Structure 1
């Protein structure tokens, strides 16, 4: 069965880039442009990894992760942001956060990290 990844970012370019990159590795990729959409997708699908932007409209990335953890639906998560130094400290209590990526990021590095994280 294909592993499923959810990419959440309000920038369409980032969503398309990661969708294409992860899709080419054989993952099924879902995309959302805000936290509310992300939660709707998570309630409909079994997500193995979430890649979420820190700063999102409607509901930001940290709020989404906190809500999922509160509901015992912790999903391994990679947080992406252009402002990593501003929030890195607030991610320590979030057990599902596996990595914090600074934008722009190295796509090859991200691909390798995701493949390792989701290796069976």
Structure 2
């Protein structure tokens, strides 16, 4: 069975880039452009991994992550941000966060990290 990944970013270019990259690795990929949409998808689908931008419209990435944990959903998460040093404190408190990626990121590094996380 294919592992499922949810990519959440308000920039369509980043969503498409990551979607293409991870679909080519045989993952089932869904995307969302804001936090509210992401949370709705997480409640319906059983994702194996969440790649989420820290700054999102409607509902911020950090709010989405806190809500997921509050509902006791275990979901490995990679946070993407242009200002990594400013968000370390917020993300370290969250159990689901496995990595914080600085934007712009190296796609090969992302692919390798995702493959490591989802390797059974």
Q: Is the 8 A contact 1:22 1:111 kept in 2?
A: yes
The equivalent of 1:90 in structure 2 is 90
Stretches of structure 2 that go unaligned for 5 or more consecutive residues are none
Q: What TM-score results when the alignment is normalised by the length of structure 2?
A: 0.98
Match of 2:113 in 1: 113
Q: TM-score, normalising length from structure 1?
A: 0.98
State the 4+ residue runs in structure 1 displaced beyond 3 angstroms: none
Alignment correspondent of 1:75: 75
Q: What count of residue pairs does the alignment treat as equivalent?
A: 120
- What is the root-mean-square deviation in Å for CA atoms of aligned residues? 0.6
Structure 1, unaligned runs of 5 or more: none
Q: Shift of the alpha carbon at 1:74? A: 2.6
Structure 1 equivalent of residue 12 of structure 2:
12
For residues 68-107 of structure 1, the C-alpha deviation after alignment (integer angstroms, 9 at most, x for no partner) is 1010013100000101111111111100000000000000
